[in-house]
Amino acid sequence: MKSPQSPSPSQHSWNRPRRGWIGKFTAAGRGIVDGVRGQSSFFVHVPVAVAVVLAAALLGLSPERWCLLLICIGVVISAELFNSALEWMSRAIADQHDANIERALNIASGAVLVAAVTAAAVGAILILDQFIVLLAD
């Protein structure tokens, strides 16, 4: 018995035409806006990220430390966007409670929490260390 094959990309009803780079970046920008819209977590992450960037600028962090901070900020924002994507996808898949979807959403939220706590620890270490160095001088 022959196993069923996955539909080719042209067989998907949601398949969209190939886009150029401008179209891809436009869609990605729209995705960021859609991911942020209505998500209260961004009202915590963004102000904290701005405060960290301001503190880093005032303390004169080295380029290496800047890179670590920016990577941490990017990981947290990316994790939150993935979490938002899963929330939107779950709404499209089921309009009633589903235990598996709830578990997936909880796992995604846990990933955001791990990223945020790790980023906060890294940021605190880098900024406090630089602050201590400046006080010692």
Residues 65-112: pLDDT tens digits?
A: 999 999 999 999 999 999 999 999 999 999 899 999 999 999 999 999
Q: What is the per-residue pLDDT for 38?
A: 72
The chain-wide mean pLDDT, for the chain, equals 89
Contact call for residues 97 and 62 (beta carbons, < 8 A): no
Q: How distant, in Å, are the alpha carbons of 3, 40, 53, 113, 135 from that of 68? A: 48, 25, 12, 18, 22
Q: pTM for the full model?
A: 0.81
In the chain, the amino acid numbered 6 is: S
Q: What is the per-residue pLDDT for 8?
A: 52
- Residue entry with tokens 């941490």: 72
Other Cβ atoms less than 10 A from the Cβ of 70: the count is 14
